Amino acid sequence: MLLAMMLSTALIAVDATILATAVPSIVADLGGFAEFPWLFSVYLLAQAVSVPVYGKLADLFGRKPVMLFGIGLFLLGSVLCGLAWSMPALIAFRVVQGLGAGAITPVTVTIVGDLYTPAERAKAQGYIASVWGISSVVGPTLGGVFSEYASWRWIFLVNVPLCLLAAAMVARNLTERVERGSPRLDHRGVVLLTAGLTLVVLAVLEGGRSWAWASPAGIGIPVVGALVLVGCWLVERAAPEPVLPLWIFRRRLLVASGAISAGVGAVLLGLTSYVPTYVQVVLGYGPLVAGLALGALTLGWPIAASQAGRVYLRLGYRACALIGTAVVLAGAALLLLFDERTSVWQVAGTCLVIGAGMGLTVSPTLIAAQSSVGWGDRGVVTANNLFLRSVGSAVGVAVFGALANAVIGTGASVDPGELTTAVHRIFLVVVGLSAAMLAVATFLPRGRVAR
């Protein structure tokens, strides 16, 4: 089952990076250069807003059917993307892929929470995290190979055998007993939550890029989204089986772990977006070296995550999270030392430190949240945590992009000096976010972990 979860995670992780190097080939074939950013936005949007719904479905009907449905939907989206005849069609089919990924991501982590004890869970999550690290290197490489030597369509079609293998492994090896009774899906809550989240996340992702922040769309879309979410809150208060139980927001542990998850999403976005650009434009290295420097982040994460279990079993979730966020803050502070004379080894070492801190932060906070509830609520708690990480990333896109554009502007060329100034401002925000994560970690409850 662990291999099945790692393979399922690989589907999502590789797909998140494989498309970047293939954009020129896709545009040359299908056209639509102005629309290609939507290939990324709609995928992330569909994935993010569907995660809370799938988490609730996994609690109502079991992990296995939701997982198989997600893999099947991802398979369908991959085939359709491989056969796409135009850029609008490809964008639409990316939505299907994203909806499948929205099921796989939270249910994978929930299944790990079901199968492993708190003592074992960190090591299992370390293996899952290692998949993301490997995929960050493999994805762009595969995308370039397929685009140059075969066809960009294989970027999507290669998912077909992987999806079939993952589905077969889950179907064969996952056995669960679900006391379904007469579960009732909160249809009104699903519609309102999905619509509201779609509008809010869309506004954050595309504001300042597809439309100005002060335009009617820039103001109207988030306002309408917020109003829809207020309506969802009113409906959820009276629903017998709410898709997003409101008690989640009344428990200190769940609120603190969710806030830390949102901070993690924003910090990761800032690093993955601007560290490679800094290495290439300011330090003068190629894309491969820039990718390897950032890869130190994904190397430190799984190594630290695999050892986090020993720390929180000895000291508790709170102490482990405090150590982890303190290490992240120390690494973020080292970012402020970067200038035109910084060595690439210093960049890699700093990313390694931050990655190690993340491994000691993400695992204990998520595991603490999962361990605080029973089987019937674990899916929705896990999904809420992962959704907040996506929200943090989306907000990070907007904030960091605005900071960069304020210094660099929107010209075709980038001056290394201006980029250094912009990156320093972004890293200052990363330091602030890291400090906020450390402060939030103090609100986690004390106590030892039950094995």
Provide the pLDDT for residue 180. Answer: 59
* Residue 207 backbone phi and psi in degrees, to 5: -60, 135
Residues 6+ apart with CB under 8 A from 182: none
Residues 6+ apart with CB under 8 A from 92: none
DSSP for 257-301 reads HHHHHHHHHHHHHHHHHHHHHHHHHTT---HHHHHHHHHHHHHHH
Q: Say which range, 96-110, 135-149, 257-271, 387-401, has the weakest mean pLDDT.
A: 135-149
Looking from the CA of 380 toward its CB, the CA atoms found within 13 Å total: 20
> To the nearest whole number, what is the mean pLDDT of the chain?
84
CA distance 254 to 266: 19
Contact 424, 336 (CB under 8 A): yes
- pLDDT of 327-340, one tens digit each? 999 999 999 998 88
Taking alpha carbons only, the member of 275, 285, 422, 436 closest to residue 352 is: 275
Please provide the DSSP assignment of 5-44 as one string: HHHHHHHHHHHHHHTGGGHHHHHHHH--GGGTTHHHHHHH
Tokens at 258, concatenated:
């969710």
Tell if the pTM clears 0.85, that is, is over it.
no
Which tokens is 394 given?
A: 């989306």
Is the pLDDT confidence value at 411 over 60?
no
- Segment among 181-190, 226-235, 439-448 with least mean pLDDT: 181-190
CA distance 93 to 91: 5
* Top-confidence residue, 292 or 107: 107
Distance (Å) of CA 429 to CA 333, 355, 405, 439 = 11, 17, 15, 15
DSSP string over 63-84: HHHHHHHHHHHHHHHHHHHHT-
Classify residue 116 by its DSSP letter: S
DSSP three-state, residue 176: coil
Question: In the prediction, which pLDDT does 71 show?
Answer: 95
Mind listing the domains of the chain with CATH numbers? 1-173 (1.20.1250.20), 187-240 (no CATH), 245-451 (1.20.1250.20)
Instruction: Tell me the mean pLDDT in the region 156-177.
Output: 89
Contact of 443 with 320, CB cutoff 8 Å: no
